[in-house]
Every structure is written in C-alpha cells, then in structure tokens.
Amino acid sequence: MPLNAKQLIDQWVANYPEDKAGGMDAEIQVNFTGEGGGSWIIKFAEGKISAAEGQASAPRLTVTTGLADILAIAEGKLDAMAAFMQGKVKLEGDVGLAMRMVSMLKGS
C-alpha cells in the first residue's frame, strides 16, 4: 500500500480503468493533508487520465482529505460515503464527478 500522496496518485493513474474515463473531460484538485500529503491535479481528457503535483486553476471538483483517511478508504477499512458524512472527506464543486472517482480507490 502506498506510503505517501505521490505513490497513491501514481498507483491511481496506473490502475484506473480507461473505460471509466471515457467521456470525462475534467480537472480535479486533490489535497491530501497530514504526513506524506500534498496537492495534486488529476486530469481526465480524451479517455486518458494524468496527474501532476500542484494547484488547478479552475477545477470542476476539489477533494480535501487526510492521507490516512484516503488510504483507509483504498484499503476497504473506511467507507467513502461514511468518510464524507463524518467530514473526513470534503468536496467542493461537481459532487457527481466524485462518485465516478470512487472506482479509482477500488483499483488501488
């Protein structure tokens, strides 16, 4: 299992099923707090996914969560919806897009 944000993002990009990225054209800002965290831009375009460290200029969705919480979700130890309801995952923007991204975690 990844130990830091870069490893997690790299794993997501490598394992994300391209058929789930089809039709998506979006830039998502992901901010991981806590040790090993960081800020990342995830781009979906033309059926492909890519990621880079930094801040998106106009993201369709911003996700902010603790790195430990997102790792627990990826490991199946924490339900994504429960984490959202408990305030462990904060979403701003296109929440429907967040639901499509859940498959990224399941592929980790």
- CATH number of the domain that 69 lies in? 3.30.1050.10
pLDDT of residue 73: 86
pLDDT of residue 105: 55
User: What pLDDT tens digit does each residue of the chain (108 aa) get?
Assistant: 567 888 888 988 888 777 766 677 889 999 999 888 899 999 988 878 899 999 999 999 999 999 999 889 888 899 988 999 999 999 999 988 887 776 655 554
Query: Does 63 reside within a domain?
Result: yes
Residues facing residue 45 across a β-bridge: 48
Q: For residue 31, what are the contacts with CB-CB under 8 A and spacing of at least 6?
A: 37, 38, 39, 40, 62, 63, 64, 65
State the Cα–Cα distance between residues 23 and 32, nearest whole angstrom: 26
pTM above 0.95, yes or no: no
6 and 38 Cβ atoms separated by less than 8 Å? yes
pLDDT at 38: 93
Range of the domain at 45: 5-99
The answer as to whether 77 is a domain residue is yes
Domain assignment of residue 73, yes or no: yes
Looking at the 3D structure of the chain, how many domains does it have? 1
Q: What is the largest CA-CA distance in the chain?
A: 34
pLDDT attached to residue 74: 81
Please give the C-alpha separations between residue 92 and each of 8, 19, 29, 95, in angstroms, as whole numbers: 21, 25, 10, 7
